[in-house]
């Protein structure tokens, strides 16, 4: 018996399903998850000594790979001065200044500890500022694990609940009354948003979306889509919230809003901004952000918000993400796509990619919305995933997730990824 198998059995005794976040259990793809012993640059090593090229990167944060020297040094130095004070520190200002300098729509930012908190606080802020209760979210977008956004959500919610009716809560325990405040529209369909804004005139506080969807697999916005949403929201007095928890500092120096040239009212950040430590943020114009307590009436708080160790890691990460780094990420993505495209076509699979974020889909044409992702051959994806893992390439264990290339990947490592994914496509189709 492998050590991972043994640890999974032991974990199951004391942790539900043996994991602390459901997709880690590999239910969607079959097989048991390897328990990870350590990360080394762009690889992870499991407790049985297997090495994998890591295209999960802790689900996005590890854009510089594992245990980056500068990030590690900054975190250790901060920890040695004390782990948490619940009082303001200089590092928080420096991280906030870096975020404000990069992200076009953000004048002021508040730090918190998870992407879930960032979207929860941003939505409350929009409701508080607009005095409206309804929100619109898009099918297949994931905004964390709080009640109001667990409706037609992507990521683990899509992975674990199949074929439920529209506008039903995505999980037992979400009150129907809460879900009823969340209206849902398909991604890449501006007409559906226009219809909702007209039908609920003066009642919709915010439209929240991932500007590049990553939690139904990678699905880019159609040309002009984000611009059209911006116009419609402005006309309706509705906030446009970009959930850039995944895309923030991943698809460009100033995030997706800079890449696509669209300015949201509020932006949620997480993952890369914390460099692998628990840190997230939300920000926007001073006029909106100053409505938060203590200046304004809208409450938001967190005991570990702006944690000094996480802040130090986030700063050390962002500082290294310069133009050369983003060029490298684009080059790596271009090369990967070009190299595996023939195999994808041959095996009737497809790929969506934005920079270093991508998904291989088990359907012949790349999906543009959630219902198209749901038509994928999930059994085929499971075989592909397991073959890739056996070949030393660690992909996210669900069709409804995006994979990430780390910036420090060498050309040799990229070649191994191409070979591994190409062989896995063959293996997925021989059964
Ligand atoms: C990961 C993710 C979240 C949730 O962040 P957590 O830190 O897991 O709470 C929210 N939105 C998007 C777009 C994400 O990718």
The alpha carbon of 346 and the centre of ligand 1 are apart by a number of angstroms equal to: 34
User: Which one of 142, 209, 248, 268 would you pick to mutate in the ligand 1 pocket, going by the greatest count of ligand atoms within 8 A of its CB?
Assistant: 142
User: Which one of 60, 270, 402 would you pick to mutate in the ligand 1 pocket, going by the greatest count of ligand atoms within 8 A of its CB?
Assistant: 270
The alpha carbon of 42 and the centre of ligand 1 are apart by a number of angstroms equal to: 22
Q: What is the pLDDT of residue 161?
A: 55
Question: Is residue 157 very low, low, confident or very high in pLDDT (cuts 50, 70, 90)?
Answer: confident
Q: Is 360 helix (H, G, I), strand (E, B) or coil?
A: strand
CB of 388 within 8 A of CB of 380? no
Q: Is 189 helix (H, G, I), strand (E, B) or coil?
A: coil
CB of 77 within 8 A of CB of 67? no
The pLDDT tens digits of the residues spanning 118-154 come to 999 999 999 999 999 999 999 999 999 999 999 887 7
The alpha carbon of 231 and the centre of ligand 1 are apart by a number of angstroms equal to: 26
User: Of the residues 46, 54, 243, 265, which is catalytic?
Assistant: 243
The rounded percent of the chain whose pLDDT value lies above 90 is 94
The alpha carbon of 59 and the centre of ligand 1 are apart by a number of angstroms equal to: 9
| Cα–Cα dist 279/193, whole Å | 31
354 phi, psi to nearest 5 deg? -130, 105
The alpha carbon of 31 and the centre of ligand 1 are apart by a number of angstroms equal to: 25
Mean per-residue pLDDT of the chain: 96
User: Which one of 21, 271, 277, 359 would you pick to mutate in the ligand 1 pocket, going by the greatest count of ligand atoms within 8 A of its CB?
Assistant: 271
Distances (CA, A) of 259 to 174, 250, 316, 326: 35, 11, 23, 11
The pLDDT tens digits of the residues spanning 382-391 come to 999 999 999 9
The alpha carbon of 290 and the centre of ligand 1 are apart by a number of angstroms equal to: 24
Q: Residue 162 above 50 pLDDT?
A: no
> What six digits make up the tokens of 263?
């300015």
| Cα–Cα dist 360/218, whole Å | 9
User: Of the residues 68, 271, 394, 400, which is catalytic?
Assistant: 271
The alpha carbon of 118 and the centre of ligand 1 are apart by a number of angstroms equal to: 9
| Cα–Cα dist 353/373, whole Å | 14
Question: Is residue 170 very low, low, confident or very high in pLDDT (cuts 50, 70, 90)?
Answer: confident
The alpha carbon of 117 and the centre of ligand 1 are apart by a number of angstroms equal to: 9
Distances (CA, A) of 180 to 14, 56, 170, 174, 184: 35, 34, 12, 10, 10
User: Which one of 116, 242, 273, 357 would you pick to mutate in the ligand 1 pocket, going by the greatest count of ligand atoms within 8 A of its CB?
Assistant: 116
Is 142 labeled as catalytic in the residue annotation? yes
Ligand 1 atom showing the smallest separation from residue 59 Cα: 1
Q: What is the pLDDT of residue 152?
A: 82
What number of residues does the chain have?
A: 431
Q: Residue 375 above 50 pLDDT?
A: yes
Adjacency order of strands within the sheet including 51-54? 36-40, 43-46, 51-54, 393-394
Q: Residue 108 above 90 pLDDT?
A: yes
Ligand 1 atom showing the smallest separation from residue 247 Cα: 13
The pLDDT tens digits of the residues spanning 410-428 come to 999 999 999 999 999 999 9
Ligand 1 atom showing the smallest separation from residue 280 Cα: 7
The rounded percent of the chain whose pLDDT value lies above 70 is 98
Ligand 1 atom showing the smallest separation from residue 243 Cα: 13
Q: Residue 156 above 80 pLDDT?
A: no
Asked whether the bond before 294 is cis by omega within 30 degrees of 0, the reply is: yes
Q: Whose CA is closest to atom 15 on ligand 1? A: 246
Is 394 labeled as catalytic in the residue annotation? no
User: Of the residues 52, 142, 225, 394, which is catalytic?
Assistant: 142
Q: Which residues line ligand 1 (CB under 6 A)?
A: 114-116, 119, 142-144, 210, 214-215, 243, 245-246, 270, 280
């Amino acid at each position: 018996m492998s050590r991972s198998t043994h640890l999974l059995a032991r974990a199951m005794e004391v942790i539900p399903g043996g994991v602390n976040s459901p997709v880690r259990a590999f239910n969607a793809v079959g097989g048991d998850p390897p328990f990870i012993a350590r990360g080394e640059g762009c690889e992870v090593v499991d407790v049985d000594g297997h090495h994998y090229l890591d295209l999960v990167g802790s689900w996005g944060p590890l854009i510089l790979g594992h245990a980056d020297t500068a990030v590690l040094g900054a975190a250790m130095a901060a920890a040695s001065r004390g782990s948490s004070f619940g009082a303001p520190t200089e590092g928080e200002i420096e991280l906030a200044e870096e975020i404000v300098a990069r992200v076009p729509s953000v004048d002021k930012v508040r730090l918190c500890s998870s992407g879930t908190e960032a979207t929860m606080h941003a939505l409350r802020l929009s409701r508080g500022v607009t005095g409206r209760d309804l929100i619109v979210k898009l099918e297949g977008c994931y905004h964390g694990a709080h009640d109001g956004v667990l409706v037609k959500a992507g990521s683990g919610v899509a992975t674990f609940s199949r074929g439920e009716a529209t506008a039903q809560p995505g999980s037992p325990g979400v009150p129907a009354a809460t879900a009823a405040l969340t209206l849902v529209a398909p991604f890449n369909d501006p007409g559906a948003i226009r219809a909702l804004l007209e039908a609920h005139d003066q009642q919709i506080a915010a439209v929240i979306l991932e500007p590049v969807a990553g939690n139904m697999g990678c699905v880019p916005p159609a040309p002009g889509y984000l611009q059209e949403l911006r116009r419609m929201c402005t006309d309706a007095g509705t906030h446009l919230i970009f959930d850039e928890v995944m895309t923030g500092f991943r698809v460009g120096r100033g995030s997706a809003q800079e890449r696509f040239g669209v300015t949201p009212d509020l932006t949620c950040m997480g993952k890369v901004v914390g460099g692998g430590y628990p840190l997230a943020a939300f920000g926007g114009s001073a006029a909106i952000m100053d409505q938060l307590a203590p200046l304004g009436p809208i409450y938001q708080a967190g005991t570990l918000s702006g944690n000094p160790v996480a802040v130090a890691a986030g700063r050390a990460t962002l500082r290294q993400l310069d133009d050369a780094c983003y060029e490298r990420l684009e080059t790596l993505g271009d090369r990967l796509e070009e190299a595996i495209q023939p195999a994808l076509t041959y095996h009737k699979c497809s790929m969506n990619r934005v920079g270093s974020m991508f998904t291989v889909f088990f359907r012949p044409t790349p999906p543009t919305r959630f219902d198209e992702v749901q038509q994928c051959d999930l059994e085929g994806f499971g075989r592909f995933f397991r073959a890739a893992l056996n070949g030393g390439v660690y992909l996210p264990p669900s069709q409804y997730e995006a994979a990430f290339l780390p910036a420090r990947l060498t050309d040799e490592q990229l070649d191994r990824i191409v070979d591994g994914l190409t062989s896995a496509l063959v293996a997925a189709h021989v059964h």
